[in-house]
Amino acid sequence: MVGIIGYGAYIPKYRIKLEEIAKVWGKNPQEVISSLGVAEKSVAGIDEDAVTMAVEAGQTALRMGGVSPSKIGSILVGSETHPYAVNPSSTIIGETLACGNNYLACDLEFACKAATTGIWLTTGLIESQKIDYGLVIGSDCAQAKPHDVLEYTAGSAATAFILGNKKNEVMAEILDFATFSSDTPDFWRRDGIRYPAHAGRFTGKPGYFAHVIGAAKKLFQKSGTEPSDFDYCVFHMPNGKFPKRVAKILGFSFSQLESSLIVEKIGNPYSASSLLGLCQVLDQAQPEAKIFFVSYGSGAGADGFIFQTTKNLMKKRRLAKKVAEFIKNKSYLSYAQYLKIRRKI
């Protein structure tokens, strides 16, 4: 019975409205907002990065899980924006969280699905009895070149999950999983280049939709389930339109999806995106709820999971600040402040 025994989220308080960005570049704000389905995005502070946000989320996950940091057997950190090109984020996080020295540390990269790959790997380590508990983190200060379309959605946030297999601790069991991968270079950043590049509309049909639908159909087939079997669905949120469209294509209703939709208010924090949607669902789900989940990472691949909540969820989640509380706590920036705080000038 491998599953989530604790989770944590962190969203910086700073926001910038898409209207503010659009005005600077002479764009029609309403057209931009309508085309992306996003109104504002989160921005990491000048003293924040993927590691500091990961520590905030990790502390919450440990507190909710009720696990001593010294019992963590692995720390896997998924991010596109590790602070160092050579120097692991995972060991900095492990040191700060007082996890000792006896843990497997690994930084993962696979665009926006790096952290869900970490969930796969950690599940295997627990099932094979190599470790008792594992910490998986998805954290990003998403990068975007000024005046690029990505600038309107690239956000900042972190999530952390403690996985274990004790029945009296698991709050959301992993019932099944599937994955779908191909060499589809819809998004990339070569070594030494500051900002990522992308293939525009090519990122849609052959990228996001092909892989999310591929993983979802494989998961339905493997588990013998269909959309009506689930209380919630969660998908990666590169913008406000893609998750709604893919949910409809797969046969899910908007009521199954809406609890996870956070992109309109914080943008796309890359490896934390779909997992923040999962956190928000866990913040409000009842015991025995089934959750259908598919992440997406450019390059390209998608990881699908089926989670089922347990009675342990109700008491444990009281120990953490909810995603909705982070979203409400905000302070707006001007475009000039945004450029300065993200060191673009």
Looking at the structure, do residues 90 and 200 belong to the same domain, yes or no?
no
* Any domain includes 297: yes
CA separation for the pair 270, 266 (Å, rounded): 11
**Do 87 and 193 have their domain in common?**
no
Report yes or no on whether pTM surpasses 0.85: yes
Position 201 scores a pLDDT of 66
The pLDDT score that the predictor gives to residue 122 is 98
Kindly state whether residues 194 and 307 are assigned to the same domain. Answer: yes
For the question of residue 112 being annotated catalytic, the response is yes
**Residue ranges in the chain modelled with pLDDT below 50:** 345
Q: Among 165, 150, 174, 121, which Cα is nearest to 18's?
A: 150
pLDDT on residue 195: 74
For 279, the 3-state DSSP assignment is helix
Task: Report the 10 Å Cβ neighbour count for 32.
Answer: 18
Give yes or no: residues 103 and 183 share one domain: no
Do 114 and 207 lie in one domain? The reply is no
- One domain, residues 183 and 291: yes
pLDDT at 143: 87
In this structure, the answer to whether residues 194 and 88 fall within a common structural domain is: no
Give domain status of residue 39, yes or no: yes
Q: Do 125 and 53 reside in the same domain of the chain?
A: yes
Give the per-residue pLDDT at 202. Answer: 66
* Type of residue numbered 80: E
Active-site annotation holds for 279: no
CATH of the domain at 306: 3.40.47.10
Confidence (pLDDT) at 344: 58
Asked whether residue 151 is domain-assigned, the answer is yes
One domain for residues 22 and 161: yes
Residues 152 and 186 in one domain: no
- Catalytically annotated residue among 112, 141, 233, 279: 112
Catalytic residue among 20, 48, 80, 264: 80
Q: In the chain, how many domains are there?
A: 2
Query: For residue 157, what are the β-bridge partners?
Result: 140
Residue type for position 30: Q
**Residue 14: alpha-carbon gap to chain centroid:** 18
Q: What distance in Å separates the CA atoms of residue 93 and residue 59, rounded to the nearest whole number? A: 10
Q: Coil, strand, or helix at residue 309?
A: strand
344 within domain boundaries:
no
**289 domain-assigned:** yes
Residues 105 and 184 in one domain: no
Indicate if 149 and 236 belong to the same structural domain.
no
Longest CA pairwise span in the chain (Å): 57
- Domain span at residue 115 reads 3-170+316-321
Q: Where would I find the H helices in the chain?
A: 18-24, 29-36, 50-65, 89-96, 114-127, 210-223, 242-250, 254-257, 263-266, 273-282, 312-316, 323-328, 335-341
CA distance 7 to 281: 12
99 carries an active-site annotation: no
Catalytic residue among 82, 198, 211, 236: 236
